[in-house]
């Protein structure tokens, strides 16, 4: 048996001892690890190691009841500045890195709808006009 395959089996064996894995997961993991170890041992640089690989397709990360952070893979209702700061990113840098439009809210769809509805009910644009108009007439 080749060295890279032995090494991959050892890694997968260790992983399987700490969590339950299906046969497919074990097979897939062995194949990926063996290929990766072989590339490294042959001196070829693995380009995917340099490029960030998101845990989910960025287009599918913003869901109805959650948003999945493409840095950590964790699920949230809102991606906060504080969470993104752990990865040295601002919300704008995060959007740019993962290909979102500049004004895309980093919030799940249901919460986004609720916020939009509340803002429409508050009608701040009308209140602002009413406040601005009397001030302009006084001088």
Q: Any idea what the CATH number is for the domain that residue 111 is in?
A: 1.10.10.1550
Cβ-contact 70, 54 below 8 angstroms: yes
Q: Are residues 59 and 127 in the same domain?
A: yes
Q: Are residues 58 and 119 in the same domain?
A: yes
Cβ-contact 79, 87 below 8 angstroms: no
Mean pLDDT of 33-52: 67
Q: Are residues 46 and 57 in the same domain?
A: no
Buried b (16+ CB within 10 A) or exposed e, 39-72: beeeeeeeeeeeeeebeeeeeebbeeebbbbbbe
Q: Are residues 73 and 109 in the same domain?
A: yes
Q: How confident is the model at residue 47 (pLDDT cuts 50, 70, 90)?
A: very low
pLDDT at 48 over 80: no
Q: Are residues 69 and 115 in the same domain?
A: yes
Q: Are residues 135 and 71 in the same domain?
A: yes
What confidence tens digit (pLDDT) does each residue in 95-119 have?
A: 999 999 999 999 999 999 999 999 9
Q: Are residues 70 and 42 in the same domain?
A: no
Q: Which residues constitute the domain of residue 11?
A: 3-50
């Amino acid at each position: 048996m080749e060295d890279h395959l032995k090494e991959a089996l050892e890694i997968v064996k260790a992983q399987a001892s700490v969590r339950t894995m299906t046969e497919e997961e074990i097979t897939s993991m062995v194949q990926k690890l063996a290929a990766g170890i072989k590339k490294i041992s042959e001196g070829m640089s693995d380009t995917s190691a340099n490029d960030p690989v998101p845990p989910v397709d960025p287009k599918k990360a913003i869901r109805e009841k959650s948003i999945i952070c493409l840095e950590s893979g964790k699920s949230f209702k809102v991606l906060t500045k504080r969470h993104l700061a752990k990865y040295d990113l601002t919300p704008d840098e995060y959007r740019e890195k993962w290909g979102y439009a500049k004004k895309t809210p980093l919030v799940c769809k249901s919460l986004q709808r609720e916020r939009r509805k509340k803002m429409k009910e508050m009608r701040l644009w009308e209140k602002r006009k009413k406040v601005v108009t009397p001030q302009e007439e006084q001088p």
